[in-house]
Chains A and B, each alone.
Chain A
Amino acid sequence: MLDIINISKTFNPGTVNEKRAISDISFHMNKGDFVTVIGGNGAGKSTLLNAIAGVWPIDRGSIVIGGKDVTALPEHKRASYIGRVFQDPNKGTAPDMQIEENLALAYRRGKIRGLRWGVTKAEKESDRDKLATLGLGLEDRMNAKVGLLSGGQRQALTLLMASLSNPQLLLLDEHTAALDPTTAKKVLEISDEIVSANGLTAIMITHNMKDAIAHGNRLIMMDAGKIIFDVSGDEKKRLTKQDLLQKFAEIAGANAESDRMALS
C-alpha cells in the first residue's frame, strides 16, 4: 500500500541551522495497517508525515502510495490519496466556513472544482448521518461556522473530513496532543472507529506510549531521523510501556534520558 524507499530530508542545508530531520528511512505498509509512531522531540516523526503528505519535496528517495509514485506530486495533488489531521485543531478546518461547507470541501478532494454548487442536497443528507456517528451533536449545527466549535469538536470534524472521498492513507499528526485528556480519549475512539469502518490504512504519531500500544497493529519508534524499533502483530500486543522505555534506552543510548522526559 505505502512504500517509503530510502527517503531523506535535511532542513536549511549548508547553514548553521542545518538539521538532518530524516535520514534514509525505508518502510512498507500493507493495506489496512494502522501504525502508531512514537519518539522524542525532533526524532523526525512529523517530518516523516509531512514528507508523505508532500508539504515540501524530499531530498532523496521515493514515496509510493497504492502503486503510484507520488514523489514528484505537490501537496494538493497528493491530497486525493491522503486524509490528514493536524496537531493544531485550527489547522484542519476553515473557521469562517460552515460545518457543511468544510465537509463539502473534503468531499471534493482530488476532484476538479468547477462551477457546480459547492454543497449539494444529497451531501447535506449524508453529512447529517455521518456527523451523528461522532456523537457530538454537530448534526444539528451544520450551518454553524467551524470557528465556533471547541478544539475536540474540530478534531473530530477534521477526522471525518479526512475519511471522506476514500483516501488510501490517513495521517494523524499528534492529533490529540492539544486536547484535554477526556476529549483526547473521545477523539482517539472516533479515530479508531473511522479507521475500522472505512478500512483505512493509517499512521498516527503520538507522544503517549499507552496510546501507541493500545491502538493500531504495528508500532514504530523513531530517533534522530531513523526508525529504531518496528514491531507488529502479536509481539506488539504483548508490548508494555516498560518494554518501550527499556527499548528506547538501549537503542538510543545515553542521550535518551532527556527524550524520555518528553514521553509519558
Chain B
Amino acid sequence: MTAILEYFSSLNPLNLVRNIPSSVAQGLIWGLMAIGVYITFRILDMADLTVDGSFTTGGACTVMLICAGVPSWLALLIATLAGTAAGCVTGLLHTRLGIPPILAGILTQFALYSVNLHIMGMAANKSLNPDKYSLTVTSRNIPLSIVFAAVIAAVVIVILYWYFGTEQGSAIRATGNNPSMSRAQGINTNTMKVIGLSLSNALVALAGGLMSEYQGFADINMGRGAIVIGLAAVIIGEVLFEAIFKSKLNFSFRLIFVLVGGIVYYLVIGIVLWLKLNSNDLKLFTAVIVALFLAIPHLRQQAKVSFGAHGRANGEGGKHA
C-alpha cells in the first residue's frame, strides 16, 4: 500500500505537462512519416516495410550533409530524394521481379541497413551539433520546431490533396482499389505502384531527416519499428475522426487526422513514460495498441454479424420454446 502511495506521490503532474510540447513536435514528425505509410497502406493497399530503412536513410543523409556544410533545407530535399529511390527499388522488386510486396519491402529495408551505415561513414551513430549548424527543427527550440514541422506537414498535405486529385493520382487510387479494373481502363498498375511506393518513402525519409535534426543525431536503428508507429498513427487518426465526426473521412481530413494520430500516439507515449514504465517495454506497448486498433473494426463487425450474435438474438444459449 505504502509502495503504491509512494509511487503516485513520486509522479509530478508538472513533468507531464512540461513534456507535452516535445510530444507534439515528435508526433508531428512521426505523423508526417505516417502520411507516407498511409499512401501505401490505405491508398495502394499494401504494407510496405521499406519505411523502417528509409526513415533511417533520411536521417543519415540529413546529418551527414549538414555536417558537410549543406544547408538544412537542401539536406532534407536530398534525403527526400534518397527515400524516393528506396521506394522505387521496392516497387521494382515487386513489379519487375514478381516478389510479393511485403517481402520486397523487407529486402530493401535489409539492404538499406548496409547502405545507411555507408552513408554514415560506417558509424552506427552520428551526432549533429545544433549550436554549430542552423537546423529546421531542433529540440533546443521546441515551439519553433512545432511551427516549422506543422508548416512542412501542411504543405505536404496540400500537395498530396492536389496530386491525388489529378489524373495520375486518381490512377494510383484506382490501382489500389481495383487493379483488374484499372488495367481494363488502360492504367499501367505496375507503374502506379512504383510511383506510390516512391512517393511514400520520400515522405518517410523527409520525416527521418526532420527527426534526426530534432534529436540532434542519426542512429542506424532510428527507423526500427517505423512501420508500426506509422500504422498506429494512421489507425488512431481514423478511429478518432470517426468517433468525433461520426462520418467517413474526406481525403484532406484523412491526412490531417493521420498527423493528429501521430501526435496522440506521442502524447500517450509521454504518459506511459511519465508513469515510469520501463522504456524498453514501449515497443511491446505500441504493438499491443496497434493490434487492438487494427482489430477494432473486425471485432465491431463481428459483434453485429456473427454466429455468437445470432445465438444471443435467439435467446440465451439458443433455448427455444
Q: In the complex where A93-B178, A95-B178, A97-B177 touch, is A75 in contact with B183 (Cβ < 8 A)? A: yes
Interface residues of B in 147-197 (CB under 8 A from A): 163, 165-171, 173-174, 177-178, 180-189
B181 touches A118 (CB 8 A): no
B166 touches A92 (CB 8 A): no
B166 touches A105 (CB 8 A): no
A91 touches B170 (CB 8 A): no
A109 closest partner in B (C-beta): B186
Q: List 29 A-B contacts (CB under 8 A).
A: A53-B184, A76-B182, A76-B186, A77-B186, A79-B185, A79-B186, A79-B187, A80-B186, A86-B180, A90-B178, A91-B181, A92-B181, A93-B181, A94-B173, A94-B182, A97-B170, A104-B170, A105-B170, A105-B171, A105-B174, A105-B187, A106-B185, A108-B185, A109-B186, A114-B168, A115-B167, A117-B166, A118-B165, A118-B170
Measured in the bound complex, the distance between the Cα atoms of B188 and A108 in whole Å is 12
Digitize A93-119: 1 where CB-to-B-CB distance is under 8 Å, 0 elsewhere. 111110001001110111101111111
Interface residue A161 (Cβ < 8 Å from any Cβ of B): yes
Other-chain residue from B170, B173, B184 in contact with A79 (beta carbon distance below 8 A) = B184
A113 touches B178 (CB 8 A): no
> Smallest distance from the beta carbon of B248 to chain A beta carbons, Å?
9
Interface residue A84 (Cβ < 8 Å from any Cβ of B): yes
Give the one of B165, B171, B181 with max A CB within 10 A.
B181
B178 touches A115 (CB 8 A): no
> Other than the known A111-B186, A115-B168, A117-B167, what 17 A-B pairs have Cβ atoms closer than 8 Å?
A53-B184, A76-B182, A76-B188, A76-B189, A80-B186, A91-B178, A92-B184, A95-B177, A96-B173, A97-B174, A97-B177, A105-B171, A105-B174, A108-B185, A117-B166, A118-B166, A118-B170
Residues on A with C-beta less than 8 A from B169 are: 118
A79 touches B165 (CB 8 A): no
The SS class assigned to the A binding surface is: loop
Other-chain residue from B166, B183, B189 in contact with A114 (beta carbon distance below 8 A) = B166
Residues on B with C-beta less than 8 A from A77 are: 186
B173 touches A97 (CB 8 A): yes
Q: How large is the interface on A (under 10, 10 to 19, 20 to 34, 35 or more residues)?
A: 20 to 34
Measured in the bound complex, the distance between the Cα atoms of B187 and A80 in whole Å is 10
Chain A residues within CB distance 8 Å of chain B = 53, 75-77, 79-80, 82, 84, 86, 90-97, 101, 104-106, 108-111, 113-119, 161
Other-chain residue from B167, B170, B174, B184 in contact with A75 (beta carbon distance below 8 A) = B184
> Smallest distance from the beta carbon of B182 to chain A beta carbons, Å?
7
A105 touches B177 (CB 8 A): no
> Smallest distance from the beta carbon of B178 to chain A beta carbons, Å?
5
Measured in the bound complex, the distance between the Cα atoms of B180 and A104 in whole Å is 17
Residues on A with C-beta less than 8 A from B182 are: 76, 94, 105
B188 closest partner in A (C-beta): A76
A77 closest partner in B (C-beta): B186
B177 touches A94 (CB 8 A): yes
A115 touches B166 (CB 8 A): yes
Other-chain residue from A53, A92, A101 in contact with B170 (beta carbon distance below 8 A) = A101
